[in-house]
Amino acid sequence: MSLTKMLKTMEKTMNKNLLLNFYIKDKNFKRVLFYPKRAQLDYLQKRTGRDYILKARQIGFTTLEQLRKLKQVLLNPNMTVVTVAHDRGKTNDIFRIAKFAWDNLPESFKAFYSVKYDNVRELQFGRTSSRYYVDLNTRSGTVNDLHISELAMVKDIDALFASTLEAVPKNGVITLETTANGLNRAHDIWQDAVDGKNEFTPHFYNWTWDDDYFQVTPENNKWKEEYKILAKRNNLILDIQSRFQISDEQFYWYYLKATRLKELVKQEYPTISEEAFLSSRVGVFDLFKVGQISTVNALRVFKGVNIYLEPISNHKYIVGCDTAEGVGGDYTSIEVWDFTDNSEIVNVASFQDSTIRPDQVAELLTSLGEMYNNAFLVPERNGSGLTTVLRLQEKGYKNLFVNRSVDKKTKKPKNEYGWRTMGSNRDLMIDDFIEAFEEGRLVINSPYVLAQMKTYVRKANGKREHDDGYHDDNLFASFLALQGEKYYRDDKYQFMDRAGLI
């Protein structure tokens, strides 16, 4: 039989049965015919050719990818398919999956393909001139189908991408697959995929996709009360059973995992993608609620500010501003909120820039404040923010936060324009925002605020701030805006706290 006819015959058989022609070793080390699990079938239907799979432990995507690649080289001439692993030991483990499947094909079939090169990590077929291999990176030449296994475990992802992804042509296939490993570069790539900022389609498969993840429950339900305590201690989803409609058997299985793994259960067996990456930190916000928020596209851009909702006459707007030095690094961030209806506080505009100077920030705030009905401005005066505040005073912007107090020495009143963040008020600012969020009063449209809520954590020392390598500037600008609402009055720009006029 000719190569073309043989390949067509095999293609009809394999397409009909997906990957049922291959044998694998199951979890009990038994030789069984491969049949895709529920998550694998779902992925096969949804894959696009540029895919990022975030998954719970042992869902089986590495096995699926090896069998899919083996099928590719058996059915297509002159093709190179590659899986890249994060360490040498894993390359051998991964290759054994495809090697076992190949070894267990019929001898007559294998003889037709005439394997030319069969070492610890490569199969090369003389009949088709196609090859499959597993390594730490790609070798020279074009790669038609690339799979990077456990992306989050790779030490230098950018270097790997530079050397490996460039070997794949425009019509080639790239599959990224991983469990989470904290907030690293893999998280950034995942978030960009979710936000539609890169070429990859995100696919998240949590532990509930595996039908083997269940355990017979004990006679009493005492463990459900114990889970509540466990969840509070380790920042797990408290109402996980009702939210995700899981059975008692599934819930008990998860409870046992959480009992053993504690905080790490989120990384190994995530329920939502947001908690997967934050297992090493305690998130400040309810990540399930954060994950349900969808931001909107800007209607227009005004001097670099994203406008989500246009100004409405007679509406009350408050602007929070966290100013940076303008030399790169930290961002100058501005968030505008509509406080007209305190039961629904709406985020209407946002700004983020790491190069704008503090004096230029004052110019921008003035323009933005005038556009939004002479909005009440609450700029932070700490650090470089002082320059912004002084410039606002020079420009004569009237509706500006001022702290009125009495000098302890002279007993005379004194005014301090701009918000001064101190240890005595920082926690209150955070708590007020959390309370408004938990009560469902915040309509968040800024993607900057939303992204920073996901990476706002409680550190080991108890301090709440951005996780390492991330920012909280827009989130902090929103804290300032909410504090401003306490002091805002329409008549003659008087400022009140909850106890009365300062």
DSSP letter for each residue of 147-165: EEESGGG-S-HHHHHHHHG
Give 197-230 pLDDT, tens digit per residue.
Answer: 899 999 999 999 999 999 999 999 999 999 999 9
Buried b or exposed e, range 138-174, using 16+ CB within 10 angstroms: beeeebbbbbbbbbbbbeebeebbeebbebbeeebbb
- How confident is residue 293, by pLDDT bands cut at 50, 70 and 90? confident
Task: Report the candidate in 242, 233, 188 with the shortest Cα–Cα distance to residue 451.
Answer: 188
- How confident is residue 320, by pLDDT bands cut at 50, 70 and 90? very high
Q: Do 352 and 451 belong to one domain?
A: yes
pTM of the shown model: 0.71
Q: Do 119 and 201 belong to one domain?
A: yes
For residue 104, the domain's CATH number is 3.40.50.300
Q: Do 197 and 273 belong to one domain?
A: no
Task: Please answer whether residues 144 and 80 qualify as being in contact, where contact means their C-beta atoms are separated by less than 8 angstroms.
Answer: yes
- How confident is residue 48, by pLDDT bands cut at 50, 70 and 90? very high
The residue among 327 and 48 whose pLDDT is bigger is 48
Task: Report the candidate in 219, 237, 220 with the shortest Cα–Cα distance to residue 228.
Answer: 237
Q: Do 240 and 200 belong to one domain?
A: no
pLDDT value, residue 225: 95
Q: Alpha-carbon distance 78 to 169, whole Å?
A: 14
Range of the domain at 494: 300-501
Q: Do 201 and 252 belong to one domain?
A: no
The answer on pLDDT for 371 being more than 70 is yes
Please compute the mean of the pLDDT values over residues 336-345 and round it to a whole number: 94
Q: Kindly state whether residue 288 falls inside one of the protein's structural domains.
A: no
C-alpha torsion 142→145→149→154, nearest 10: 30
Give me the chain's average pLDDT, please. 88
Rounded percentage of the chain residues whose pLDDT exceeds 90: 61
